[in-house]
Structure 1
Amino acid sequence: MMQRRAAEVAGWGAALALALIAVAVVASTSSWLLYRDGDSVVVALMADSLRRGDSQDWALSPVLFLPETTVYAALSFLGLGTTGSLTLNAVVNLLAVYGGIRLVAGRSRPGSRPVTGSVLAFAAFVALVLLEGPGGMPGFHLALLTATTTYYSATVVGTLVTVGLFRRLLDGAPTVRVVPVMVGVVAISTLTNPLFVGWCVGPVAVAVGVLLVGRRIVPRLAVVTLLAVAGAAAVGYLLRGFFAANIVAAGGNYLRPDQAGDALARLAGVLGDTVVSVNGLLWLAVVLALFAASVVVAVRSWRRRDGVVAAVCVLAVVAPLAATALVVVAGTDADRYLQPWVFLPVVVLAVAPPVLSVPRALSAILAGALAVAAIAAVPVTVAAASRPDADLACVTRWVEASGRTGAGQFWTVRAPKLALTDPSHLVQVDNTMRPYDWLVNRAERRGPVTFLIQDAATIPFAGVPTFDATPVRCGRYTILDFGSRVLPLGDPRN
């Protein structure tokens, strides 16, 4: 028992080291995505607004960010500031991925090394994160998105946890203990992001069907599992009705089957961008190798009548294919929906029977090297999180000193809104000066607007004469100050 606990502690220690290394790279090479991206900052904006006790009327996408906001809000109470909290949140997200993989790996039993396999699988995931560094690889960026608070980290973890609980049921764990937890995870995951149905619920149903046809699962357990995941998903989706006023995205924005051809062409283009670099070729080779390994292990396990491992590997194959089909059928250009390709096939390393035994001496050397790398990563991460943004600080000082309200477009104004003590001093608008109700608190006061903020992402404003505006340069930002002149706002849009 003590040896098993020591192994678990060692596994979590290795995972922490790997997470620290990954976050150091992401914070250094993808700081914009982590700290200032228009979508990435919504969780911080929501948590800060709740902490201030502001009135709440958020205009949200189909993703409600409920687990993400809870985690970030808890971490923000540590007093690390916005960038510090987002950085720590990235470490927590990655550790949660390891926890999900470890659950999928199952309990220790003769002939298995679930902790070693879990660490190896997580290391493969971290390797994909490192290869995706924007400085080294154009094209797909799927693994590093898990470090953010908004690009489906909770859905990634929820999927892994559900797969792990499914595996526990197949291993013979008491249904009275596992099923309630599974129901809760599936309901919350569907409530916060309906994409979870395509990533997890559907593939689990396929895996159960395969097991049932092949007589690798008793009918009673198959029915219980299907009722649990399907029923919980239905409950989670129905609970979204309580947030109907906050979900402003129209279904037509996400389901465009008439554009399936364009979606396929875009995917081919991103794939082409990926393979032009050495990093991209390595990344694609790792992803495809893990996917192929999942197919091979699924077949071999099936022949050995190991339905548990076969089911997990079937999920690792079906979910990425389902995600790809969803992207094409929905006619979307959001390749982030393809994340199952990077976090599910890696679990084959955690569940497959060990092929080689690592000598203790080599394990000690690897552990030492990992510890040294993790220690070295900490100051790199701190430096990246603490790096001042002089341009953003310039805008913040000017806005707060003016005491007035200005406006800016989504990709321009998000980071300044987060940096302000009172975000309502900046109104989010489109290029026609209509308030843009997207990932923003509609309860904030709006106006009177007397200045505009622009940067390279700003689309030229239509119908706004600027002859009387005084430009204020703040590096990548330009503030157009109209003084006492009030710029009229149009009707809100989303």
Structure 2
Amino acid sequence: MGPTSRARGADARARAFARRLPVILAEAAGLLVALAIAAVVVANVADSPRAFLLYYDGDSVLPALVRGSLAAGQPQDWAMSTVLFLPELTVYLALSAVGLGVKAAFAAGAVVNLAALYAALRYMESGTPHLPRARFAAGAGGHTLAAATHGLARRLPRIAATLAAFAVFAGLALTETSADRNALELASLLTTSTYYSATVIALVVIVGLVLRTLRGGGRRHRSAVTGALAAVTGFATLSNPIVIAWAVVPVVVVLGILGAARIVRWESLGRALAGLASGVASGLLLRIPLAHYITESASDAVRWGHAGESAAYYGALLAARFATPAGAVEAAIVAGLVATCAVVFVIALRRGGGMTAAGTRSELALVAGLGVIAPLGSIVGAILLGTLAARYLQPVVAAPVLLIAALPALGSARRHSTRRRVGRAGGAGARALRVAVAALASVAAVAALGAGSGAVPRIVASVRDADSSVRCVDDWVNQAGVRGAGTYWTVRAPKAYASDPRMLVQIDADLNGYAWLVDRADYPAGAISFLVIDAQSTIPHPLDLAPIRPPTISCGRYTIVDYRAHPLHLGPTHS
């Protein structure tokens, strides 16, 4: 290759980068705004009673317990539930590896979870069709500038739609401030590490991949998309099989409806089903070698014949949520989103009969249909299976917001046959509308960035504000130098923040070892010299377990019952 050819190649690469640069900067700006919104949400959680769920809840502290076990050099023999929390643990341990403390890693992980949701929404939105690219007359600088301008004009509405969807989800989370893990406050659960945040994100990514299977493309592209769909579905199933109920089944149901209405090509439907089915199968198969660590099967959570009790339970949660102004607003927003999804879905089905030029109708119908089927399916399924946990209903708030991110595709559906050249008159009204929308988006972005910058100090303050009760227990344990125990909801927070977590053992109400979401290396614990109790403890008569009434030490909401004079012996360990 001669100097002239190399120069031409370098010039071509420079022009290509110049065309892409505005889009890259726009995407970076969108991510920055999303991070600011995420910081506001996390600060709101950290400043409210819901901070307990983020930092100290018995389930939420699992990643910190893993971190402590690794730091103590214990054998990693964990007794997990049906959920392995593989993505959540990876993120938390990565944040810990860069030097963040226990509490700081939880706060940073909350921001990462929300940012990951935004990224997933961007990925999903990019899977919907858009206006065709404009053609440009040959030229040097003018061609590059025109192409860059057109690319930016095409991308900005899509970024704005994704930010709008993310902002709506964040707005729902801002209404949620209760410390109750079972309150019907579902959006803010995404900030935690053990309430299925990764599965919510996987739902969005799976939808994005299914959208790409509907768009067709070359053979190599179709194979790559189907393989990626299988890989994501497989990993999500490996970590948390509930993704089958949250994402796979609803998507299959919606695709089946669209196929019957002849809105989806059977070839595309087959590729999507193949990717989903192979992913679920591989994920379930990969769980077999990990069976030693899984102490509960999915069937263990099923309570057949308790649908009435479950319906009454969730009805009471809904009534309690409606009893607060913020809860009523959140419920109204979610109901409105689901209703909008239903309207769009019905319109798509009625028009039916084939595909638009870009496949817009099928893909928009999929997103809208999922916004109806996933919430209804999670509610009906949770009731029929007799469950009693609000976290199973998270698709109710996650699925409907996807339609907001897909709004640019709605515009494409109306204008898919229109090809415009940059510079062609589009009408004064259209230009004025674009200017107004751009101005409004700019003001919203500046406001979000300002709020985000103010939220960061609040998050830092919450991280530095150590829980006095937990610190009191840990200080006493360090000073005493003996091993003690407590029940699940009581002992896990002090254990998670302890300098040596081996000094606190998890037990049940009968003083047996209770290996549940804990390292089995803690057992057998032998004799224990104290009990940690609080209002959630289930140990009957904890002060009457020795011939002489033991002394007690008050640590805020905890009480330490000192049995050093008469150590207690634990029973056998069970899960």
Q: Taking structure 2 as the reference length, what is the TM-score of the superposition?
A: 0.82
* C-alpha RMSD over aligned residues: 2.1
Residue in 1 aligned with 2:414? Answer: none
Deviations 1:433-489 (A, max 9, x none): 011111111112413201111111112435852543111111111111112322011
* 1:194 counterpart (241, 244, 251): 241
* 2:537 counterpart (452, 455, 458): 458
Tell me the CA shift for residue 249 of structure 1. Answer: 2.1
Aligned to 1:257, the other structure's residue is in SS state coil
Q: Does 1:110 find its partner at 2:131?
A: yes
Amino acid of the structure 2 residue aligned with 1:46: V
Deviations 1:319-357 (A, max 9, x none): 111111211111011121000011110011111247875
Residue in 1 aligned with 2:381? Answer: 326
* 2:200 counterpart (156, 166, 170): 156
The question of whether the paired residues in 2 share the 8 Å contact of 1:406 and 1:447 is answered with no
Structure-2 change in CA distance of 1:136 and 1:45 (3 Å): closer
Q: Does 1:432 find its partner at 2:432?
A: no
Structure-2 change in CA distance of 1:109 and 1:224 (3 Å): closer
d(CA) in 2 for partners of 1:308, 1:273? 37
Tell me the CA shift for residue 62 of structure 1. Answer: 0.3
Tell me the CA shift for residue 492 of structure 1. Answer: 1.7
193-202 or 2-11, larger mean C-alpha shift: 2-11
Amino acid of the structure 2 residue aligned with 1:13: L
Residue in 1 aligned with 2:47? Answer: 28
Matches within 5 A, 1:83-98: 83-98=103-118
Deviations 1:200-237 (A, max 9, x none): 11112112212221222222221121111011101101
Q: Does 1:397 find its partner at 2:397?
A: no
Amino acid of the structure 1 residue aligned with 2:454: A
Aligned length: 494
Amino acid of the structure 2 residue aligned with 1:278: P
Residue in 2 aligned with 1:99? Answer: 119
* 1:119 counterpart (135, 158, 163): 163
Deviations 1:332-389 (A, max 9, x none): 1112100001111001111124787543333322222111111000001111111121
Aligned to 1:478, the other structure's residue is in SS state strand
Amino acid of the structure 2 residue aligned with 1:143: A
d(CA) in 2 for partners of 1:246, 1:337? 22
Structure 2 residue runs without a partner (length 5+):
1-19, 133-153, 356-360, 412-432
d(CA) in 2 for partners of 1:128, 1:251? 29
Rg comparison, structure with higher value: 2
Q: Does 1:256 find its partner at 2:275?
A: no
Matches within 5 A, 1:410-449: 410-445=488-523, 446-449=525-528
Matches within 5 A, 1:175-186: 175-186=222-233
d(CA) in 1 for partners of 2:181, 2:310? 21
Deviations 1:119-143 (A, max 9, x none): 0000000000001122899941101
Matches within 5 A, 1:132-143: 132-134=176-178, 139-143=183-187
Residue in 1 aligned with 2:315? Answer: 268
Aligned to 1:39, the other structure's residue is in SS state coil
d(CA) in 2 for partners of 1:313, 1:295? 7
* 1:347 counterpart (392, 398, 402): 402
Matches within 5 A, 1:245-394: 245-249=292-296, 253-302=300-349, 303=351, 305=355, 306-353=361-408, 357=434, 358-394=436-472
The question of whether the paired residues in 2 share the 8 Å contact of 1:137 and 1:279 is answered with no
Deviations 1:267-304 (A, max 9, x none): 11111101111101101001001111111222334427
Aligned to 2:513, the other structure's residue is in SS state coil
Amino acid of the structure 2 residue aligned with 1:411: W
Aligned to 2:574, the other structure's residue is in SS state coil
276-285 or 207-216, larger mean C-alpha shift: 207-216
Deviations 1:400-449 (A, max 9, x none): 11111111111110011111122111111111101111111111241320
d(CA) in 1 for partners of 2:123, 2:333? 23
Residue in 2 aligned with 1:484? Answer: 565
d(CA) in 1 for partners of 2:22, 2:372? 34
426-435 or 87-96, larger mean C-alpha shift: 426-435
Residue in 2 aligned with 1:7? Answer: 26
The question of whether the paired residues in 2 share the 8 Å contact of 1:434 and 1:491 is answered with yes
Deviations 1:139-165 (A, max 9, x none): 411010010000001101111100011
Amino acid of the structure 2 residue aligned with 1:263: S
131-140 or 69-78, larger mean C-alpha shift: 131-140
Aligned to 1:492, the other structure's residue is in SS state strand
